């Protein structure tokens, strides 16, 4: 189990966020910029956030919804390659996938994707590229993200922290609440067709 603290989050997706991005820069100054290529494993039957980044499988679980905020905590980090036993016991149940027969002894990225494609039609594999502009405001962190989802461009803004009041206050002050709280898993389900929902705001 990852010992990092659980965090409250308000995240939205849209094509543009108007003045929100400019206001963050005015409040917090120049952002820290990070880029990453990631693979998300999205299941129709669960809300688990499972992604591959930097050779590690990173699993987060939503533990509460409070005043419109979602509280997430790190659940597990697994280094690739995995053993077949670890895949069967630790990852497949998180995605709601019935364990496949004849798993390989060692599972690298290609083998993992093959197992998931063969085992379930309810799991999609999504390639993401993120350019993240991070801002620190006292106890709260915020970010603006340029995201490519299987090559399609969308933007995201997130406010997160360990204190729900602080997260809610900044989200409201920025005008982010009007966009709705949409986590990565929910957004990817919309984009890939695993779930039907209104389109993101233009």
**Complete domains list, the chain, with CATH:** 7-192 (2.40.320)
In 3D, which of 130, 135, 172 has the Cα closest to residue 22?
Answer: 135
How many CB atoms are closer than 10 A to CB 145? 19
Each residue's pLDDT tens digit, 54-106: 999 999 999 999 999 999 999 999 999 999 999 999 999 999 998 766 788 89
128: its two tokens? 């993401």
φ, ψ of residue 8 in degrees (nearest 5): -85, 145
How many CB atoms are closer than 10 A to CB 69? 22
Give the pairing of strands 140-149 and 152-161: antiparallel
In 3D, which of 54, 48, 127 has the Cα closest to residue 91?
Answer: 48
- Determine the pLDDT at residue 2: 53
The torsion defined by the Cα of 50, 47, 183 and 193, in degrees rounded to 10, comes to: 90
pLDDT band for 202, please (50, 70, 90 cuts). Answer: low
Mean pLDDT over residues 192-199, rounded? Answer: 82
Q: Are 38 and 181 in contact (CB under 8 A)?
A: no
- Determine the pLDDT at residue 201: 77
**pLDDT at 28 exceeding the cut of 60:** yes
In 3D, which of 128, 156, 1, 153 has the Cα closest to residue 75?
Answer: 1
Sign of CA dihedral 196, 112, 59, 97: positive
How many CB atoms are closer than 10 A to CB 77? 12
**pLDDT at 187 exceeding the cut of 90:** yes
Q: What value does the mean pLDDT of the chain take?
A: 93
pTM: 0.92
pLDDT higher for 88 or 11?
11
Mean pLDDT over residues 123-131, rounded? Answer: 97
- Determine the pLDDT at residue 3: 62
Between CA 128 and CA 177, with CA 36 as vertex, the angle to 5 degrees is 65
For residue 89, give Cα distances in angstroms to 29, 53, 78, 119, 161. 45, 21, 12, 15, 31
86: its two tokens? 């670890």
Task: List 179's β-bridge partners, or say none.
Answer: none
Percent of the chain at pLDDT above 70? 97
């Amino acid at each position: 189990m990852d010992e990092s603290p659980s965090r409250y989050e308000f995240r939205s997706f849209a094509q543009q966020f108007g003045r929100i991005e400019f206001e963050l820069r005015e409040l917090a100054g120049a952002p820290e910029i990070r880029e990453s290529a990631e693979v998300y494993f999205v299941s129709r039957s669960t809300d688990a956030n499972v992604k591959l980044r930097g050779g590690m499988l990173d699993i987060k679980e939503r533990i509460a919804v409070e005043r419109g905020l979602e509280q997430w905590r790190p659940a597990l980090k697994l280094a690739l390659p995995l053993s077949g036993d670890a895949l069967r016991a630790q990852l497949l149940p998180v995605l709601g996938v019935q364990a496949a027969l004849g798993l390989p002894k060692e599972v690298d990225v290609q083998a993992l994707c093959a197992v998931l494609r063969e085992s379930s039609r309810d799991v999609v594999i999504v390639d993401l590229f993120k350019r993240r502009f991070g801002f620190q405001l006292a106890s709260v962190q915020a970010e603006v993200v340029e995201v490519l989802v299987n090559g399609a461009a969308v933007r995201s803004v997130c406010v997160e922290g360990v204190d729900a009041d602080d997260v809610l206050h900044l989200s409201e002050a920025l005008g982010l609440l009007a966009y709705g709280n949409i986590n990565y898993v929910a957004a990817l389900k919309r984009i890939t067709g695993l779930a039907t929902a209104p389109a993101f705001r233009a």
